[in-house]
Amino acid sequence: MKIKDLPYSRYDIKKVEQEFKASTEAVKNAKNADEALAAHDNMLKVMGGFTTMATITNIRFSLNSFDEFYEKEQEYYDSVMPIFTELYNDFGKAMLASPFVDELKKSISPLVFEKYRMLALSSDPRIIEDKQKEAEIIVEYNKLMAEMVFEFNGEEMPLSVLRGYLAEGNRDVRKAACEAMGKGMSKHADKLDDIYDRLVHVRDNMAKKLGFKSFIELGYLNMDRMDYDRNMVEKFRTSVLTDLVPVITDIKKQLAAKLGIDNYMFYDDAVCFTDGEPKPIIDKDEIFRRGQLMYDEMSPITGELFKKMVAEDAFDVDARKGKWGGGYCTAIEDYRQTFILANFNGSSDDIDVITHEFGHALAMDMAFDGDRELDIGGCETAECHSMSMEFLCWPYMDRFFGKDADKYRYKHLLAAISFIPYGTIVDEFQHIVYANPDLTPAQRNEEYLKLERKYRPYLSFEGIPYLEKGTRWQYQMHIYETPFYYIDYCLAQTIALGFLVESRKDYKDAFGRYLEFCKAGGTVPFSKLCDRAGLVSPFAEGALKKIATVVPDILKEF
């Protein structure tokens, strides 16, 4: 069935409440483990039905934020999701307290019980209203960004299209596009600051109600991190600063010299070549046709899934006003379907969509046969699926870029290693903000600029309208929507680079290990997944030093 034709009806929270409470009581009154397991199975069915309808709503609203029906439905699910979470929390507490818990762990992964334990710490009826308020504000931000238009070259366009011009070979065009971006965002400066300020304070309020010193502790619990903590992330950031930043800075300085640029600006950061950046040599339809050929050759599993998704119109890649910017992949559980939203803009990013997001889709499709509660794992694991697929598609890039395939590989690899310091900026910025929730907008921007100078010392925002004030973070939607998510991209990038190195030694073996990594999903903690794949954990001593040594050598090949 095509995604647009999937039947939808609002899933009444009262029905969820009735079914969940019945399952919770059944666990409490169970005379044996089998009765508790039956109650668990019933809970999963209700969970699947509710999340399926919530996902369909989110998809349709994100495709058109002007759709009044799905805007109302989105508001409904945002308002009842905290209630749903609390009902699930109550069920989890009953499972943890069951006298048959040890026997239950033989049928249900012990990691599920760890998830119950963490949820019990992070969820409470006292913060339901705060969560509802948080969801409302996030929708407010998404609508603002989706409906924001920018004037450039005599046209009005969404941010997703305008950002494509930052990869133009002509520096004057890049500069003008960046100025248009800054001027366009400055019109909404007060609103962007106000939205974020309200989010920070509502989150801080939740944390204080639950007895935490700051939202940082609660934020980590919300991310379901089972085998790494704040201290390990801090050490990773230190390693980025000492092991990666000097190497990347040196590469960027050499690149700037080749490009004939004295003052390396923010709008120069996506450019690698004096004769133009690599762009797809084919149109959208041909990208999908060749994408099918690529995945057919890669494996029967990837080929069949790509074919299925195309047949279901499970890709929406045309940029338009009212559509959310950026991209995502999501799973519609009860229909066992995946969906990808993206915004093609004619740059090499278009190819990254059908590699990166499809990596997510592959893992999600495999998870339909797995443990619903563990799904595909934490965000760091999920991003390994997508970022690694980008590199595993390297052998096929000639089909999309022709003679510029090696230029693409160079650009892609440089962007991959350069991303890690940027992702680290985003993470440290959020730690500063939530440790100091009363910072003014100007103080937040000042802290962001300090971090840019710390982790990207080669890059300047000077003279760029609005952005020079330290506001680049405002269109990084993760900062508004999912606090502390972004470092997971950095952790995953180190694993993806590991898969690249292994694939250059023995592609078939590396791809097989990648599939096993995806199949395991959330059933294995992140560090153990890395070990099983024969890759070094990002937290291991010297992990980033190895990347800092290997990646420049690969870049030199191109």
**Residue 223: which CATH number?**
1.10.1370.30
Per-residue pLDDT tens for 480-512?
999 999 999 999 999 999 999 999 999 999 999
Among 88, 123, 158, identify where a domain stops: 123
Domain membership of residue 80 (yes or no) is yes
**AA letter at 242:** T
Query: CA–CA separation, 476 vs 137, rounded Å?
Result: 15
Same domain, 56 and 197: no
Whether 102 and 143 map to the same domain: the answer is no
Do 46 and 160 have their domain in common?
Answer: no
Q: Is the pTM of this model over 0.85?
A: yes
Q: Are 459 and 523 part of one and the same domain?
A: yes
Q: Minimal CA–CA distance to 315: which of 353, 365, 367, 368?
A: 353
Read off the pLDDT band of 36 (50, 70, 90): very high
Full domain range(s) for residue 241: 138-280+403-558
* Parallel/antiparallel/unpaired status of strands 337-344 and 328-332: antiparallel
Is 70 found in the same domain as 152? Answer: no
Q: Where are the alpha helices (DSSP H) in 436-506?
A: 441-455, 477-481, 487-505
Do residues 98 and 155 make contact, with C-beta atoms less than 8 angstroms apart? no
Residue-wise pLDDT for 505-532, tens only, equals 999 999 999 999 999 989 999 999 999 9
Q: What three-state secondary structure class fits 365? A: helix
Place of tokens 């940082």: 216
Tell me whether residue 519 is exposed, middle or buried, using C-beta atoms within 10 angstroms of its C-beta: 0 to 12, 13 to 18, 19 or more.
middle
User: E strands along 328-413, which residues?
Assistant: 328-332, 337-344
Strand-pair category, 315-318 with 337-344: parallel
Looking at the fold, whether 113 and 150 belong to one and the same domain comes out as: no
Does some domain include residue 301?
no
Terminal alpha carbon distance of the chain: 44
| 460: three-class secondary structure by DSSP | strand
Helix (H, G, I), strand (E, B) or coil at 459: coil
What number of other Cβ atoms are within 10 A of residue 162's Cβ? Answer: 25
Give domain status of residue 233, yes or no: yes
| 516 lies in the same domain as 467 | yes
* C-alpha pair distances (Å), 512 with each of 87, 226, 506, 507, 533: 40, 26, 10, 8, 9
Q: What percent of the chain has pLDDT over 90?
A: 93
Separation between Cα atoms, residue 367 and residue 519, nearest integer Å: 7
Arithmetic mean of pLDDT, 237-257:
96
The mean pLDDT value for 470-487 works out to 96
- pLDDT at res. 276: 85
Which of 123, 147, 171 is at the close of a domain?
123
Total structural domains within the chain: 2
In a domain, 431, yes or no: yes
Residues 118 and 14 in one domain: yes
Same domain, yes or no: 146 and 70: no
Give CA separation, 350 vs 174, 286, 304, 400, 511, in Å. 19, 12, 21, 10, 23
What is the reported pLDDT for 282? 96
Domain match, 117 and 159 both: no
Task: Say yes or no: 165 and 118 in one domain.
Answer: no
Residues 422 and 274 in one domain: yes
Between β-strands 155-157 and 337-344, what pairing exists: parallel, antiparallel or unpaired? unpaired
Judged by DSSP in three states, 265 sits in: strand
Residue 275 has pLDDT above 90, yes or no: no
Domain boundary among 64, 96, 123: 123
Distances (CA, A) of 432 to 8, 130, 200, 425, 450: 42, 22, 11, 11, 11
Band the pLDDT of 417: cuts 50, 70, 90: very high
Q: Is residue 290 part of a domain?
A: no
Determine the longest span between alpha carbons in the chain, in angstroms: 77
Give the tens place of pLDDT for each residue, 148-189.
999 999 999 999 889 989 988 899 999 999 999 999 999 999
Within a domain: 41: yes
**Is a pLDDT exceeding 90 seen at residue 230?**
yes
User: Does residue 417 form part of some domain?
Assistant: yes
Question: How far apart are alpha carbons 9 and 477 in whole angstroms?
Answer: 29
Please give the mean pLDDT across all residues of the chain.
Answer: 95
pLDDT of residue 134: 96
Is 341 inside a domain boundary? no
More confident: 275 or 207: 207
